[in-house]
Amino acid sequence: MTKLHDLIAARIAATGPITLADYMADALMHPDHGYYATRDPLGAAGDFITAPEISQMFGELIGLSLAQAWIDQGQPSAFALTELGPGRGTLMADILRATRGVAGFADAAHIHLVETSSTLRTEQAKRIPNATWHDDVTTLPDQPLFLVANEFFDALPIRQFHRNPNGWSEVQVAVQDNTLIAGLSAAAPIVLLDHRVKDTKAGDVVEHCPALPTIIQTISQRIAAHGGAALIIDYGDWRSLGDTLQAMKNHAPINPFADAGEADITAHVDFEAIANAAAPAKHTRLSPQGVFLERLGITQRAHTLAKNLSGDPLDQHIAAHRRLTHPSEMGSLFKVLGLYPNGAPPPAGLEP
Ligand code: SAH
Protein backbone atom coordinates (compact mmCIF):
# COMPACT_ATOMS: atom_id res chain seq x y z
CA MET A 1 0.00 0.00 0.00
CA THR A 2 1.26 3.46 -0.82
CA LYS A 3 1.45 6.31 1.68
CA LEU A 4 -1.24 8.10 -0.34
CA HIS A 5 -3.51 5.04 -0.11
CA ASP A 6 -3.26 5.22 3.68
CA LEU A 7 -4.03 8.96 3.72
CA ILE A 8 -7.10 8.50 1.51
CA ALA A 9 -8.31 5.46 3.50
CA ALA A 10 -7.98 7.47 6.76
CA ARG A 11 -9.94 10.35 5.24
CA ILE A 12 -12.73 7.99 4.11
CA ALA A 13 -12.82 6.28 7.53
CA ALA A 14 -13.26 9.70 9.17
CA THR A 15 -15.68 11.42 6.76
CA GLY A 16 -17.23 8.74 4.52
CA PRO A 17 -16.89 7.72 0.85
CA ILE A 18 -15.51 10.34 -1.56
CA THR A 19 -16.39 11.12 -5.17
CA LEU A 20 -14.26 9.82 -8.00
CA ALA A 21 -13.21 13.43 -8.64
CA ASP A 22 -11.89 13.82 -5.10
CA TYR A 23 -10.00 10.55 -5.44
CA MET A 24 -8.49 11.55 -8.81
CA ALA A 25 -7.48 14.96 -7.46
CA ASP A 26 -5.45 13.33 -4.68
CA ALA A 27 -4.10 10.47 -6.81
CA LEU A 28 -2.84 12.83 -9.53
CA MET A 29 -2.16 16.16 -7.84
CA HIS A 30 -1.53 15.61 -4.12
CA PRO A 31 1.40 18.01 -3.56
CA ASP A 32 3.61 15.38 -1.85
CA HIS A 33 2.38 11.99 -3.08
CA GLY A 34 0.37 12.67 -6.27
CA TYR A 35 1.30 10.95 -9.50
CA TYR A 36 2.32 14.13 -11.36
CA ALA A 37 3.88 15.73 -8.29
CA THR A 38 6.38 12.91 -7.83
CA ARG A 39 7.68 12.06 -11.31
CA ASP A 40 8.09 12.82 -15.01
CA PRO A 41 5.69 10.21 -16.42
CA LEU A 42 6.27 10.80 -20.13
CA GLY A 43 8.23 8.89 -22.68
CA ALA A 44 9.31 5.33 -23.33
CA ALA A 45 10.73 4.92 -19.81
CA GLY A 46 7.55 6.35 -18.26
CA ASP A 47 3.93 5.30 -18.20
CA PHE A 48 2.63 6.88 -21.40
CA ILE A 49 3.75 8.88 -24.43
CA THR A 50 2.13 11.96 -25.95
CA ALA A 51 2.06 13.48 -29.44
CA PRO A 52 4.83 16.07 -28.89
CA GLU A 53 7.10 13.30 -27.55
CA ILE A 54 6.36 11.17 -30.63
CA SER A 55 7.48 13.75 -33.21
CA GLN A 56 8.65 17.36 -33.43
CA MET A 57 6.18 17.80 -36.32
CA PHE A 58 3.26 17.99 -33.88
CA GLY A 59 4.53 21.09 -32.05
CA GLU A 60 5.79 22.69 -35.26
CA LEU A 61 2.35 22.58 -36.89
CA ILE A 62 0.59 23.78 -33.70
CA GLY A 63 3.07 26.68 -33.67
CA LEU A 64 2.28 27.60 -37.26
CA SER A 65 -1.48 27.48 -36.61
CA LEU A 66 -1.10 29.81 -33.60
CA ALA A 67 1.25 32.14 -35.52
CA GLN A 68 -1.23 32.31 -38.43
CA ALA A 69 -4.01 33.21 -35.96
CA TRP A 70 -1.74 35.93 -34.55
CA ILE A 71 -1.16 37.31 -38.07
CA ASP A 72 -4.89 37.08 -38.92
CA GLN A 73 -5.63 39.20 -35.84
CA GLY A 74 -3.24 42.01 -36.76
CA GLN A 75 -0.09 40.83 -34.96
CA PRO A 76 -0.80 42.22 -31.47
CA SER A 77 2.45 43.62 -30.10
CA ALA A 78 2.33 41.84 -26.73
CA PHE A 79 0.48 38.58 -26.11
CA ALA A 80 0.43 35.57 -23.79
CA LEU A 81 1.70 32.43 -25.55
CA THR A 82 0.27 29.90 -23.15
CA GLU A 83 0.26 26.16 -22.56
CA LEU A 84 -1.86 24.21 -20.09
CA GLY A 85 -0.16 21.12 -18.62
CA PRO A 86 3.11 21.38 -20.59
CA GLY A 87 4.61 18.04 -19.45
CA ARG A 88 8.31 18.18 -20.30
CA GLY A 89 8.04 21.46 -22.24
CA THR A 90 8.67 19.70 -25.55
CA LEU A 91 5.57 21.08 -27.30
CA MET A 92 6.33 24.69 -26.34
CA ALA A 93 9.98 24.28 -27.37
CA ASP A 94 8.86 23.00 -30.80
CA ILE A 95 6.35 25.87 -31.14
CA LEU A 96 9.10 28.42 -30.42
CA ARG A 97 11.55 26.84 -32.87
CA ALA A 98 8.98 26.57 -35.66
CA THR A 99 7.82 30.19 -35.28
CA ARG A 100 11.31 31.73 -35.23
CA GLY A 101 10.89 32.67 -38.88
CA VAL A 102 7.59 34.52 -38.27
CA ALA A 103 8.69 38.18 -38.10
CA GLY A 104 7.79 39.83 -34.78
CA PHE A 105 6.16 36.75 -33.21
CA ALA A 106 8.90 35.83 -30.73
CA ASP A 107 9.37 39.46 -29.61
CA ALA A 108 5.66 39.89 -28.94
CA ALA A 109 5.24 36.54 -27.16
CA HIS A 110 5.36 36.26 -23.36
CA ILE A 111 5.36 32.61 -22.37
CA HIS A 112 2.96 31.42 -19.67
CA LEU A 113 2.82 27.82 -18.47
CA VAL A 114 -0.01 26.51 -16.27
CA GLU A 115 1.41 23.62 -14.27
CA THR A 116 0.81 22.37 -10.73
CA SER A 117 3.59 19.76 -10.53
CA SER A 118 6.87 21.19 -9.21
CA THR A 119 8.76 18.20 -10.65
CA LEU A 120 7.47 18.96 -14.13
CA ARG A 121 8.03 22.70 -13.71
CA THR A 122 11.72 21.92 -13.18
CA GLU A 123 11.71 19.80 -16.34
CA GLN A 124 9.93 22.58 -18.29
CA ALA A 125 12.39 25.23 -17.09
CA LYS A 126 15.24 23.32 -18.77
CA ARG A 127 13.64 23.89 -22.19
CA ILE A 128 11.69 27.13 -21.55
CA PRO A 129 13.78 29.12 -19.05
CA ASN A 130 12.04 32.46 -19.60
CA ALA A 131 8.47 31.33 -18.88
CA THR A 132 6.10 32.52 -16.16
CA TRP A 133 4.40 29.67 -14.28
CA HIS A 134 0.83 29.63 -12.98
CA ASP A 135 -1.10 27.25 -10.72
CA ASP A 136 -4.27 27.81 -12.72
CA VAL A 137 -5.68 29.96 -15.54
CA THR A 138 -7.11 32.73 -13.34
CA THR A 139 -3.75 34.51 -13.05
CA LEU A 140 -3.05 34.65 -16.81
CA PRO A 141 -2.48 38.27 -17.90
CA ASP A 142 -5.15 40.49 -19.48
CA GLN A 143 -3.61 40.25 -22.95
CA PRO A 144 -4.38 38.53 -26.26
CA LEU A 145 -4.20 34.82 -25.41
CA PHE A 146 -2.80 32.25 -27.85
CA LEU A 147 -3.07 28.92 -26.07
CA VAL A 148 -2.57 25.20 -26.55
CA ALA A 149 -3.60 22.34 -24.28
CA ASN A 150 -2.58 18.82 -25.30
CA GLU A 151 -3.66 15.97 -23.04
CA PHE A 152 -4.45 18.44 -20.24
CA PHE A 153 -8.22 18.12 -19.88
CA ASP A 154 -8.07 14.30 -19.78
CA ALA A 155 -6.07 14.58 -16.53
CA LEU A 156 -8.71 16.68 -14.77
CA PRO A 157 -10.80 14.85 -12.15
CA ILE A 158 -14.22 13.59 -13.23
CA ARG A 159 -17.41 12.52 -11.50
CA GLN A 160 -19.10 9.44 -12.91
CA PHE A 161 -22.83 8.71 -12.84
CA HIS A 162 -24.80 5.54 -13.64
CA ARG A 163 -28.30 6.10 -14.98
CA ASN A 164 -31.07 4.06 -13.43
CA PRO A 165 -34.86 4.30 -13.43
CA ASN A 166 -34.95 6.60 -10.38
CA GLY A 167 -32.22 9.05 -11.36
CA TRP A 168 -28.45 8.73 -11.14
CA SER A 169 -26.11 6.78 -8.85
CA GLU A 170 -22.69 8.35 -8.42
CA VAL A 171 -19.47 6.34 -8.32
CA GLN A 172 -17.87 6.76 -4.90
CA VAL A 173 -14.61 5.50 -3.49
CA ALA A 174 -14.93 3.55 -0.24
CA VAL A 175 -12.71 1.27 1.87
CA GLN A 176 -13.25 -2.45 2.31
CA ASP A 177 -10.71 -4.68 4.11
CA ASN A 178 -8.17 -1.86 3.91
CA THR A 179 -8.58 -1.74 0.12
CA LEU A 180 -9.97 1.18 -1.88
CA ILE A 181 -12.97 0.11 -3.94
CA ALA A 182 -15.56 1.83 -6.14
CA GLY A 183 -19.20 1.75 -5.04
CA LEU A 184 -22.42 3.52 -6.05
CA SER A 185 -24.46 6.07 -4.12
CA ALA A 186 -28.25 5.74 -3.78
CA ALA A 187 -30.05 6.91 -6.92
CA ALA A 188 -31.20 10.54 -6.98
CA PRO A 189 -32.01 13.20 -9.57
CA ILE A 190 -28.90 15.24 -10.46
CA VAL A 191 -29.70 18.71 -11.78
CA LEU A 192 -26.46 19.07 -13.74
CA LEU A 193 -27.42 15.96 -15.74
CA ASP A 194 -31.00 17.01 -16.49
CA HIS A 195 -30.04 17.62 -20.12
CA ARG A 196 -28.89 13.97 -20.36
CA VAL A 197 -32.14 12.37 -19.24
CA LYS A 198 -33.57 12.30 -22.78
CA ASP A 199 -30.57 10.74 -24.54
CA THR A 200 -29.64 8.07 -21.95
CA LYS A 201 -31.30 4.92 -20.63
CA ALA A 202 -30.99 2.81 -17.47
CA GLY A 203 -27.50 1.31 -17.28
CA ASP A 204 -25.77 4.13 -19.20
CA VAL A 205 -22.73 5.86 -17.70
CA VAL A 206 -22.13 9.62 -18.02
CA GLU A 207 -19.06 11.55 -16.87
CA HIS A 208 -18.78 15.16 -15.76
CA CYS A 209 -15.60 17.19 -15.26
CA PRO A 210 -16.34 19.82 -12.56
CA ALA A 211 -13.29 22.00 -13.26
CA LEU A 212 -13.74 22.20 -17.04
CA PRO A 213 -16.48 24.84 -17.47
CA THR A 214 -14.72 27.45 -15.30
CA ILE A 215 -11.37 26.92 -17.01
CA ILE A 216 -12.93 27.27 -20.48
CA GLN A 217 -14.93 30.35 -19.44
CA THR A 218 -11.79 32.04 -18.09
CA ILE A 219 -9.92 31.38 -21.35
CA SER A 220 -12.88 32.34 -23.55
CA GLN A 221 -13.45 35.63 -21.76
CA ARG A 222 -9.84 36.63 -22.39
CA ILE A 223 -10.00 35.60 -26.05
CA ALA A 224 -13.27 37.49 -26.56
CA ALA A 225 -12.01 40.62 -24.76
CA HIS A 226 -8.41 40.83 -26.05
CA GLY A 227 -8.20 38.48 -29.06
CA GLY A 228 -6.35 35.21 -29.37
CA ALA A 229 -7.08 31.54 -30.02
CA ALA A 230 -7.04 28.22 -28.19
CA LEU A 231 -6.26 24.77 -29.59
CA ILE A 232 -7.55 22.00 -27.33
CA ILE A 233 -6.36 18.53 -28.24
CA ASP A 234 -7.30 15.37 -26.41
CA TYR A 235 -8.90 12.00 -26.69
CA GLY A 236 -12.63 12.03 -26.34
CA ASP A 237 -15.80 12.75 -28.22
CA TRP A 238 -18.62 15.21 -28.68
CA ARG A 239 -20.83 13.93 -25.85
CA SER A 240 -19.81 11.87 -22.81
CA LEU A 241 -21.27 8.38 -22.82
CA GLY A 242 -19.80 5.29 -21.19
CA ASP A 243 -17.11 4.56 -18.61
CA THR A 244 -13.85 5.98 -19.97
CA LEU A 245 -11.85 6.01 -16.73
CA GLN A 246 -8.44 4.52 -17.36
CA ALA A 247 -5.31 4.02 -15.28
CA MET A 248 -1.93 3.39 -16.94
CA LYS A 249 1.34 2.21 -15.46
CA ASN A 250 4.35 1.22 -17.58
CA HIS A 251 2.25 1.59 -20.77
CA ALA A 252 -0.31 -1.00 -19.52
CA PRO A 253 -3.77 -0.57 -17.95
CA ILE A 254 -4.20 -1.24 -14.20
CA ASN A 255 -6.96 -0.93 -11.57
CA PRO A 256 -7.29 2.86 -10.87
CA PHE A 257 -7.77 2.25 -7.13
CA ALA A 258 -4.91 -0.22 -6.61
CA ASP A 259 -1.78 1.92 -6.12
CA ALA A 260 -3.04 5.44 -5.40
CA GLY A 261 -0.52 7.94 -6.77
CA GLU A 262 1.46 5.38 -8.77
CA ALA A 263 -0.62 5.31 -11.98
CA ASP A 264 -1.76 7.93 -14.48
CA ILE A 265 -5.56 8.19 -14.32
CA THR A 266 -7.47 9.82 -17.18
CA ALA A 267 -10.91 10.04 -18.71
CA HIS A 268 -12.05 10.96 -22.22
CA VAL A 269 -12.81 14.63 -22.73
CA ASP A 270 -16.41 15.69 -23.34
CA PHE A 271 -15.88 18.28 -26.09
CA GLU A 272 -19.53 19.33 -26.01
CA ALA A 273 -18.93 20.56 -22.45
CA ILE A 274 -16.08 22.73 -23.80
CA ALA A 275 -18.30 24.10 -26.58
CA ASN A 276 -21.09 24.82 -24.07
CA ALA A 277 -18.70 26.93 -21.96
CA ALA A 278 -17.08 28.73 -24.93
CA ALA A 279 -19.23 31.90 -24.97
CA PRO A 280 -18.41 34.79 -25.33
CA ALA A 281 -15.73 33.33 -27.67
CA LYS A 282 -16.69 31.15 -30.64
CA HIS A 283 -15.79 27.49 -30.98
CA THR A 284 -14.84 25.57 -34.11
CA ARG A 285 -16.20 22.22 -35.20
CA LEU A 286 -14.54 19.19 -33.67
CA SER A 287 -11.84 17.77 -35.99
CA PRO A 288 -10.03 14.45 -35.75
CA GLN A 289 -6.32 15.03 -35.00
CA GLY A 290 -5.28 13.28 -38.22
CA VAL A 291 -7.44 15.58 -40.36
CA PHE A 292 -6.24 18.67 -38.47
CA LEU A 293 -2.56 17.77 -38.99
CA GLU A 294 -3.15 16.93 -42.67
CA ARG A 295 -4.78 20.33 -43.23
CA LEU A 296 -1.72 21.97 -41.69
CA GLY A 297 0.59 20.11 -44.08
CA ILE A 298 2.09 17.32 -41.98
CA THR A 299 2.73 15.10 -45.01
CA GLN A 300 4.77 17.82 -46.73
CA ARG A 301 6.69 18.48 -43.54
CA ALA A 302 7.29 14.74 -43.10
CA HIS A 303 8.77 14.51 -46.63
CA THR A 304 11.08 17.46 -45.98
CA LEU A 305 12.39 15.95 -42.73
CA ALA A 306 12.73 12.51 -44.34
CA LYS A 307 15.25 13.85 -46.88
CA ASN A 308 17.91 14.06 -44.17
CA LEU A 309 17.18 10.65 -42.64
CA SER A 310 18.02 7.03 -43.41
CA GLY A 311 18.02 3.65 -41.70
CA ASP A 312 16.42 3.38 -38.23
CA PRO A 313 15.78 7.12 -37.77
CA LEU A 314 13.90 7.18 -41.10
CA ASP A 315 11.81 4.16 -40.09
CA GLN A 316 11.01 5.83 -36.76
CA HIS A 317 10.07 9.06 -38.51
CA ILE A 318 7.68 7.26 -40.87
CA ALA A 319 6.15 5.35 -37.94
CA ALA A 320 5.72 8.60 -35.97
CA HIS A 321 3.93 10.29 -38.88
CA ARG A 322 1.58 7.32 -39.11
CA ARG A 323 1.05 7.20 -35.36
CA LEU A 324 -0.01 10.85 -35.18
CA THR A 325 -2.36 10.77 -38.17
CA HIS A 326 -3.62 7.27 -39.00
CA PRO A 327 -7.26 6.56 -38.01
CA SER A 328 -6.27 3.26 -36.37
CA GLU A 329 -3.66 5.04 -34.20
CA MET A 330 -4.06 8.58 -32.76
CA GLY A 331 -5.61 10.08 -35.90
CA SER A 332 -9.28 9.73 -35.01
CA LEU A 333 -9.32 8.88 -31.28
CA PHE A 334 -7.75 12.29 -30.63
CA LYS A 335 -9.76 15.38 -31.52
CA VAL A 336 -9.09 19.10 -31.82
CA LEU A 337 -11.43 21.95 -30.88
CA GLY A 338 -10.54 25.62 -31.37
CA LEU A 339 -11.71 28.79 -29.60
CA TYR A 340 -11.48 32.18 -31.33
CA PRO A 341 -12.99 35.67 -31.11
CA ASN A 342 -15.93 37.07 -33.06
CA GLY A 343 -14.82 38.68 -36.30
CA ALA A 344 -11.66 36.55 -36.72
CA PRO A 345 -11.26 33.44 -38.87
CA PRO A 346 -10.99 30.12 -37.01
CA PRO A 347 -7.43 28.88 -36.28
CA ALA A 348 -5.74 27.25 -39.30
CA GLY A 349 -6.56 23.54 -39.57
CA LEU A 350 -10.06 23.93 -38.10
CA GLU A 351 -13.52 24.72 -39.49
CA PRO A 352 -16.03 27.27 -38.14
N1 SAH B 1 0.92 18.39 -22.65
C2 SAH B 1 2.00 17.48 -22.32
C3 SAH B 1 1.80 16.70 -21.03
C4 SAH B 1 0.50 15.96 -20.83
S5 SAH B 1 0.43 15.19 -19.23
C6 SAH B 1 2.26 16.56 -23.50
O7 SAH B 1 1.46 16.54 -24.41
O8 SAH B 1 3.26 15.85 -23.48
C9 SAH B 1 -0.60 16.30 -18.29
C10 SAH B 1 0.08 17.56 -17.85
O11 SAH B 1 -0.88 18.38 -17.18
C12 SAH B 1 1.23 17.40 -16.88
O13 SAH B 1 2.17 18.41 -17.12
C14 SAH B 1 0.53 17.59 -15.53
O15 SAH B 1 1.39 17.87 -14.46
C16 SAH B 1 -0.42 18.73 -15.87
N17 SAH B 1 -1.61 18.85 -15.04
C18 SAH B 1 -2.50 17.86 -14.75
N19 SAH B 1 -3.52 18.35 -14.01
C20 SAH B 1 -3.28 19.67 -13.85
C21 SAH B 1 -3.99 20.73 -13.21
N22 SAH B 1 -5.14 20.50 -12.57
N23 SAH B 1 -3.47 21.97 -13.26
C24 SAH B 1 -2.31 22.20 -13.93
N25 SAH B 1 -1.60 21.25 -14.56
C26 SAH B 1 -2.07 19.99 -14.52
Q: Which atom of ligand 1 is nearest to 51's Cα?
A: 7
Distance CA 269, CA 254 (A): 20
Residue nearest (by alpha carbon) to ligand 1 atom 3: 87
Closest CA to 80 of 175, 222, 276, 290: 222
**What is the per-residue pLDDT across 132-188, written as a single tens digit (0 to 9) for each?**
999 999 999 999 999 999 999 999 999 999 999 989 999 999 999 999 999 999 999
10-residue mean pLDDT profile of the chain (352 residues): values are 93 97 97 91 82 97 98 98 98 98 97 95 96 98 98 98 95 96 96 93 97 98 98 96 94 92 96 98 98 98 98 98 98 98 98 98
What is the 28 CA–ligand 1 centroid distance (Å)? 10
The torsion defined by the Cα of 234, 237, 238 and 241, in degrees rounded to 10, comes to -130
Residues in the ligand 1 pocket, defined by CB under 6 Å = 29, 36, 42, 50, 52-53, 85-87, 91, 114-117, 120, 150-152, 155-156
Q: Which atom of ligand 1 is nearest to 264's Cα?
A: 5
Pocket test for ligand 1, best of 152, 158, 214, 324 (most atoms within 8 A of CB): 152
Query: What are 161's strand-pairing partners?
Result: 170, 206
Residue 44's pLDDT is what? 65
Q: Which pTM does this prediction carry?
A: 0.97
Residue 1's pLDDT is what? 79
Q: Which atom of ligand 1 is nearest to 90's Cα?
A: 8
